[in-house]
Structure 1
Amino acid sequence: MNISRSRMLLFSWLLPFTALADPAQPTHEFTLKNGLKVVVREDHRAPVVTSQLWVKVGSSDEPPGQSGLSHALEHMLYKGSSKTCSGEASAILDNLGASQNAFTDKDVTTYYQTLQPHQLGVAFELMADMMSTAHLRAEDFIPELAVIQEERRFRVDDDPDGIAHEHLTRMAFPASSYGAPIIGWMHDLQRLNAEDLRHWYQTRYAPGNATLVIVGDVTLEKVQPLAERYFGTLAAKPFTARRQSLELAEPGERKIILHQAIPAPRLIMSFNVPSLATAENRRSVHALRLLDTLLAGSNSARLTKRLQLTERLFSNTSSSYNPLYRGDSLFTLNAQLTTQSSVSLDQAEARIWALLDELKSTPPDSVELERARTLLIARQIYDRDSIEYQADHLGALESIGLPGRLMDEDADELNQVTPADIQQAAQTYLTRQRLSTAHVLVEKTDE
């Protein structure tokens, strides 16, 4: 099972992509009597449809001592329900030729299938049964928990990057529930039991706490009767409401030093920033997204071009910012020194600060901003050829309390960002009072 996923595709920035963009696809919404919201987006370019069930529960909802609970429950939903035996739901979909999986994130757990439109009822029946009558037997959980623990070892414990990011994320969210790992701490996984899963399932998996998103070669007239037939019969039930996970505006500068089996030292710098759901002004979020692209989104980006390709200080550089969280987010810069470098991580960090200070004192010129803007919009236009991407975006927006229509308004809002907005975002958010840093040093071994 995937824990999270992301996609990034590139186009030439010279093309007028906003002019090439297809008009917004017809999108419909309705809510069943039991509270389940359904979003249907028509895209008739290919004879396929994707169905995604977004349950509003993730790692940020888990109490201390029970990290990894949502992800473990995701695994267990495939271990049988009132209509299927263990593994049978996946086997049925595989036999239909469907692409299917699930993932858990900080705010959501999502189950998805992509298949032919006439098979949509099968996916609905299986998902409705799994979300309402899962067995969650202790005898099934014991071996599955061993699988999850091995997944943690592979993804985190045996991966220097995974360890570094896990420790940094814990430090970067001192007041927020976002600090715990999605897969869970190993000592918490060792204590989880089937009763924990059943309680989590009973108090979170309710129709009113979920969104069903369907995108593809369908119409509202075809989808609504199927949704009523399979999901509409589920009983409405109370569920545990959750609060927005907010972080301190300026937690203060924090630093961690790790020693790992890596070929060269690595630097990670994360700044506490708002998300689309927590920002007072959405334009500041779009400025951060463009800043992300401007710093390390291409070979012409400042961090990549100057410090990696020109000065040869770093062997690789990257940046990341996810605005689609229910709570506050992080703006992160990653860089690895070259194996031949004699520069310390403190000196390398000072070079990055010099670049950031340039942005604070002088806004980017219009050419540089347009290059970053066009690249970002181009990626989205290309990504929308995927019905899974469209459903991902709609489901993420709906799950953090924002309307799905923002997806179709995104390019227009990006076009409104000015160089002064970029400068203001850098001055406001890329500060030491918001910074968590990880210095990952090469582990010394005994000769």
Structure 2
Amino acid sequence: MLDNGMQVVVVTNQRVPVITHMVWYKVGAADEETGKGGIAHFLEHLMFKATDELKPGEFSRIVARNGGRDNAFTSWDYTAYFQNVAADRLELVMRMEADRMANLRLTDETVLPERDVVLEERRQRTENEPGDKLSELVQASMFVHHPYGTPIIGWANEIAKLTRDDANQFYHTWYAPNNAVLVVAGDVTVEQVRPLAEKYFGPIAPRPVPARIRVEEPPFEAERRVILRDAEVRQPSLRRLYHAPSYNRGETVHAYPLQVLSEIVGGGATSRLYRSLVVEQRLATSAGTGYSPDAFDTSVFGAYVSPNAGVDMDKLEAALVEQLEKVVRDGVTAEEVATAKTRLEREAIFARDSLRGPAMSFGVALATGRTVEDVEAWPERIASVTVEQVNAAARAVLGQTNPVTGLLLPAPVRQAAAQPDAQPDAQPPGTGAGAAPSRSNDSGVIR
């Protein structure tokens, strides 16, 4: 750790003379002020504008001229910036990254056009993509009070009102060295990184950073359904989501067993859901589960399935629920647990072979309140998971009676209204049996 509070992690991998250089800030969309949704992601865009040393866009142009690649990403819990470059370009990218940590210069001429870029990004990636639109609506139903219910990119009406002052305030509040983590992975050593980090990041003064105090999601006993019908849907889908603990919040004792459970129930072509719904019953083209315990607050355990052509969605949902209830009722076997743990451990080994994999693991952990030791202990903690622990986690999460179900369906085919014979007692237009159905894009119906 530097004297100004910035954490530094070095992961040496000397297979090729390349490094991944990442700076993680412990702030994300869930830390935004109410009414300023999207400001974390907006600032991510603006960090590529001017500094005291660089013109707008020059950061990325310099990286590219030196044979590298750079980008950034925002989550609910963190924002990260990275460059993949030759090992001998480490000092270059570290100098530029430190420069924009301390010396970002924003003007209306750069901020306002970029706001339009973000709005267009939202239109393309969410509003014009039915699957992403449903994900947004389901997330909002999962987290009604907690900020995880607000999309990372923000709601369009709030993005449109963001200003240069909003961006500057967010930048000066959260972008401090004592709220950041530097991760360098690749053909590099601690002895090489330490003097460079002290030279470029060390002089940046620390600042008071607000505590990450977030509201808790209140308990909702009712099951919720979100149905999106859209004319662009070619492949219907179904998802069923449950509130789940993370490493940090909720019944954290279940975090490692839930990873094993997800592998058993929905982790690929040998999982329970795939074998039952795709192979045996031939109801689905795909089926699986998803769970990540990395959130700063609580997480979500989800099951996902897409139907074969002509399969009734009610029948598919009933089959999915039957499999999930079977896990709760009958539990999993020792053989399933042993096989799942082996697969997870192998995946971790493969991930460690890459430059980006370890950098991501350490960055996410440190940005969400965990430690280097937690990351290094993951294989042993997974290996120690027992059948009893997996079954207890299944009862605690899949046994909940208030899941959120999301359905993505094609819009009904619009029919031409029937033309009745002209008669004195003819029904008014739109009230008879031949009336046209409702509009083709019935989004956000919550039952």
Q: TM-score, normalised by structure 2?
A: 0.89
Q: Which residue of 1 aligns with 2:9?
A: 39
Q: Which amino acid aligns with 1:64?
A: T
Aligned-partner Cα distance in 1 for 2:244–2:220 = 10
Of 94, 99, 112 in structure 2, the residue corresponding to residue 124 of structure 1 is 94
Shift of 1:251: 4.9
Q: Which residue of 1 aligns with 2:313?
A: 344
Equivalences for residues 216-235 of structure 1 within 5 A: 216-235=186-205
Of 365, 371, 381 in structure 1, the residue corresponding to residue 333 of structure 2 is 365
1:385 aligns with 2:356: no
Aligned-partner Cα distance in 1 for 2:331–2:82 = 42
Of 245, 248, 262 in structure 2, the residue corresponding to residue 274 of structure 1 is 245
Equivalences for residues 47-446 of structure 1 within 5 A: 47-243=17-213, 246-248=216-218, 251-261=221-231, 262-282=233-253, 284-341=254-311, 343-345=312-314, 347-446=315-414
Does structure 1 retain, via aligned residues, the 8 Å contact 2:146–2:214? no
Shift of 1:247: 3.2
Aligned-partner Cα distance in 2 for 1:403–1:365 = 32
Q: Which moves more between the two structures, 358-367 or 195-204?
A: 358-367
Aligned-partner Cα distance in 1 for 2:216–2:7 = 26
Q: The residue matched to 1:175 in structure 2 has which SS?
A: coil
Shift of 1:82: 0.7
Equivalences for residues 13-32 of structure 1 within 5 A: 31-32=1-2
Aligned-partner Cα distance in 1 for 2:2–2:374 = 23
Aligned-partner Cα distance in 2 for 1:378–1:319 = 19
Aligned-partner Cα distance in 2 for 1:198–1:353 = 48
Distance 1:319 1:280, change over 3 A: closer
Does structure 2 retain, via aligned residues, the 8 Å contact 1:42–1:216? yes
Aligned-partner Cα distance in 2 for 1:365–1:223 = 47
Aligned-partner Cα distance in 1 for 2:215–2:9 = 25
Q: Which residue of 2 aligns with 1:7?
A: none
Shift of 1:360: 1.6
Q: Which amino acid aligns with 1:424?
A: A
Unaligned stretches of 5+ residues in structure 1? 1-30
**Cα deviation code 1:95-135 (max 9, x no counterpart):** 11112110001111100112222211111111111111111
Does structure 1 retain, via aligned residues, the 8 Å contact 2:246–2:252? no
Shift of 1:64: 2.4
Distance 1:257 1:70, change over 3 A: same
Does structure 1 retain, via aligned residues, the 8 Å contact 2:289–2:303? yes
Aligned-partner Cα distance in 1 for 2:414–2:251 = 53
Q: The residue matched to 2:372 in structure 1 has which SS?
A: coil
Aligned-partner Cα distance in 2 for 1:151–1:309 = 38
Q: The residue matched to 1:330 in structure 2 has which SS?
A: strand
Q: The residue matched to 1:433 in structure 2 has which SS?
A: coil
Q: Which amino acid aligns with 1:402?
A: R
Does structure 2 retain, via aligned residues, the 8 Å contact 1:245–1:328? no
Q: The residue matched to 1:407 in structure 2 has which SS?
A: helix
**Cα deviation code 1:304-333 (max 9, x no counterpart):** 111122211112223211111101011111
Q: What's the % identity of the aligned pairs?
A: 32
Shift of 1:383: 1.1
Aligned-partner Cα distance in 2 for 1:244–1:33 = 29
Larger radius of gyration: 2
Q: Which amino acid aligns with 2:414?
A: D
Q: Which moves more between the two structures, 178-187 or 312-321?
A: 312-321
Aligned-partner Cα distance in 2 for 1:431–1:153 = 37
Q: Which moves more between the two structures, 98-107 or 404-413?
A: 404-413
Does structure 2 retain, via aligned residues, the 8 Å contact 1:253–1:432? no
Aligned-partner Cα distance in 1 for 2:225–2:187 = 50
Shift of 1:257: 1.9
Shift of 1:250: 5.5
Does structure 2 retain, via aligned residues, the 8 Å contact 1:291–1:422? yes
Q: Which residue of 2 aligns with 1:21?
A: none
Does structure 1 retain, via aligned residues, the 8 Å contact 2:12–2:185? yes
Q: Which amino acid aligns with 1:316?
A: S
**Cα deviation code 1:415-444 (max 9, x no counterpart):** 111122121111111134341111222211
**Cα deviation code 1:71-100 (max 9, x no counterpart):** 110000111101100111111111111121
Aligned-partner Cα distance in 2 for 1:340–1:311 = 14
Shift of 1:289: 0.9
Aligned-partner Cα distance in 1 for 2:104–2:401 = 46
Aligned-partner Cα distance in 1 for 2:38–2:150 = 9
Aligned-partner Cα distance in 2 for 1:264–1:402 = 39
Unaligned stretches of 5+ residues in structure 2? 416-447
How many pairs does the alignment contain?
414
Shift of 1:294: 1.1
Aligned-partner Cα distance in 2 for 1:217–1:264 = 45
